[in-house]
Structure 1
Amino acid sequence: MSGFQDVRDVMDISGPSESTPRAPPLKKQKTVEKRPDGITRELFALLGENPPPVAIVENKFKEKPKWMGKANPWEWKDFTNPARTDSLILRHWERKSKEPPDLEYRFSKFDVKVDIPTYSDGEYEILKDLDWSREETDYLFDLCREYDLRFIIIWDRYDFPNGKSRSVEDLKARYYSVCRSLMELRTPLNRMSPEETQIFNMLNFDKERETSRKKMANVLFARTPEQVKEEEMLLAELKRIVTNQQRTLEERKDLFNRLEMPSSQGSIAGYTGSQGLAALREFMVNSSDKNKKRKSIAMGANTGADGSQPSPAVASISEKASTAIAASQKEAIQPKKQARKLSGEEMKEYGVIYHDKLSQGIKFRSSMVATNVKGGTAQKVSQALAQLEIAQRLTMPTSKTIQKYEQLQSNVGILLDTKKLLEKVEQELRVLKAQQDAAKEDT
């Protein structure tokens, strides 16, 4: 069998010379995988080139922290609390630092005191009260400074010798009345800033209202389970009534809108008045069957026996005669009725009212309320009625109700005008008093 070299000789192909050294074959580079932590070298060598199917993770404890420096030392230090008046020296542990120590106690900023006003002997002459003496008033203000206006604690500690028994409302009323009068005495109301005016209004304490509120709360807490159930039932019934009332008002409003703006193809302006309604009635009567027969008889009388048309004079006479006959028949069918006059009691019973003059068109009585107040006062009157929860449109607009409503509007307008005039006079009085005080100070 011939070799590879014999084939080269037959084919006359020159092969590589034997002197040319052959390059060694490239070795396959082995990828060295990093040995994971938590596995020994011998065990990792047994795995070979195939990685393990499950990751090997060793549970390790947290490494010990490395401290960069030394711990700061602490020292037992003396301090004084500025909130105390006895100069008591206290001690506590405090971290030692190179910075200079604070001269003020760090927690002294939480020592906040309520600003309780003080008054002089001359000012107390204006703050006098027949039920309170000067000594008892001073005792009350001392307790307010000591307990920071916590009136429940003040009432619990209140023990004035040979004094009356006071409630929490009595203490509050006396304190706030003194503060309010003292503030107004030192700064007149017209010279106060907005912040001072707000504080002045906040000092207004209504003793009667607070007392009634607590009584109502006590009654509310003393209810039995049966009373609670009854109240819940009444509230549910009230909710149902309010819901039905709202639905009725919405339907009533929708009806008003439909009546005020009718959706018709033609114009109804000709039928809004009494004459228009009478003409509409005549038109409906004339279009009935009886009128049609009467018209056919009149047309037959206008024509001749042979069917020829009569002369214009005869036609006009026959038309007049037919019209007279129709009018006489109508009067015979509909005799005139004499209107009976009603007495005053009957007019009140049936709600009959005679008006001097009425405009044309269909109107509701609730929209015919006359406004006696005009100008800028009308808006104030409407706002006052809204605050009193009085509706602008009356639910039952009877004649008496409308009359009372108009009278109420006029009375509210007069009251608002009087109030405006009173405020103007009071302002002028305050200005004159301030001018007098300034003149006295100058002298």
Structure 2
Amino acid sequence: MSSSDIFDVLNIQPKSSSPHPQTSQSNAGSSKTPKPQVTGMQRELYNLLGDNTPPIVIQPTSKFKDRLVSLTKPSPWTYAEFEATPYVKLRHWVKGSKELLEGQSPKSSFAKYDQKLTLPEFTEAEYQEFMAQPATQAEKDTGAGKPAWSYEEVQYLFDLCRRYDMRWYIVYDRYSYDESRTMEDIRAMFYTVCQKYFQAKDPGNPMLSSLSYSKEQEIQRKRYLTRLLSRSAAEIAEEEALIMESRKFEMAAKKTLQEREAMLRLLDHPQGDANVSQFLTSQGMNQLYNNLLNDKQRRRKPDPSPPENPWMKQQQQFAQQKQQLQLQHQQHHQLRDQKRIEVKTDPVTPGSPKQDSPSPGRKPSDQSAAPRMNKKQKLEMQTAMRRKQDSEYAQHLLKNFNAEERKSLGVTLHGEKLAPGVFLRSSKISTFKPSIQNKVVSVLQELGLPVRPAMPSAAVVQHHEELLRRIVTLLDLKRQQDKLEAEKAIVK
């Protein structure tokens, strides 16, 4: 053993004679740093480890919990006896000393939930007394008083009802006094006895109204239930389809009622006394339309479809009529030009046969002189043809009615397609551009007629339309006459 080993065992640092002061200072600093105190291991054994400090600190552990340190005295518990039922006694742990609980046999804490039904009790003499009363009409209908029930059998029935809390399926399953009794017979007899008992003991008891039992209705209910549960898959599907159809009918009826209410609200509008001349122009009509739209959004229920603008609709109708007239005029010119070309290219002499083949100098593209129509023109032509067919079909349907019958029945034939929904007939009266509309209004005022008829029936509106057309025609003639007179004055 060398001196270094001795110094190491005694934990003495030897004095260093090396000329490097930094090393000695570092060793001195390392010796001054306190080592961590480790429990669970002897100091000498830990020092033998040297600088190889273990990664995990070893500490003593125990498999048991620490002892509870409490200054209070624990409460005693006693394995005491209690009475579960009058015939059964059990034992359980109760907080308290044995001396305090000795001699006591308390009831269970759940005894308050063990509630029994209170059924009437009677002797045989009382039973014979109140059952001797004549049967009521309800008892005769149910048949509860027909079979003979002895006192012993009735008492047996009441004991079963008291034991099983009137659970009738269990009572019927346990009933063995008379096997011929059905569950409806048992229930009818029970309610009959109770009803007669309370009528004899307490006629004013409010329970008498709830003691009525109809045996026939119960049998019929069970028969219906059996029939319902024994349906096939096809019958169930048919019933579901009928239910869906009935719901559709209900929704349609509800929608019809809503539309009828809306129409009644529209017809039952307040009569205004203000001047309506400001709404006769296009600007006034647009302003009135915007006001009605804002009023509808503010007061009524929100409707996804905005109200119809009669002014814009009339303008659209004028544009469609103009396009139809232009299309008809164009077709007329095309047919006339085609006939002229055929006459010029294929002259037919009286003695020469008609030539079907084209001439040699003629191109194949010249055979069809009719120009090709675009998609929009084709669509307009199809629409016009469809309307013509509808008009012809309507005329065919109404050909058996004369004018008087049509007028009396209110059947009219419209020349144009009407918009869907309810509308006022007065809103379909023709309007014109502002310059002509003002002159038409002035002419009507001179004639003493209102701008819109007070009673806009079909005949009145038709005559009013004819009057407006004649007024416009006269205004146009007057304008042409004034123009000619002005030109005549310039020439002079």
TM-score range, shorter chain: 0.3 to 0.5
Structure having greater relative contact order (Cα 8 Å, sep ≥ 6)? 2
State TM-score, norm by structure 1.
0.41
State TM-score, norm by structure 2.
0.38
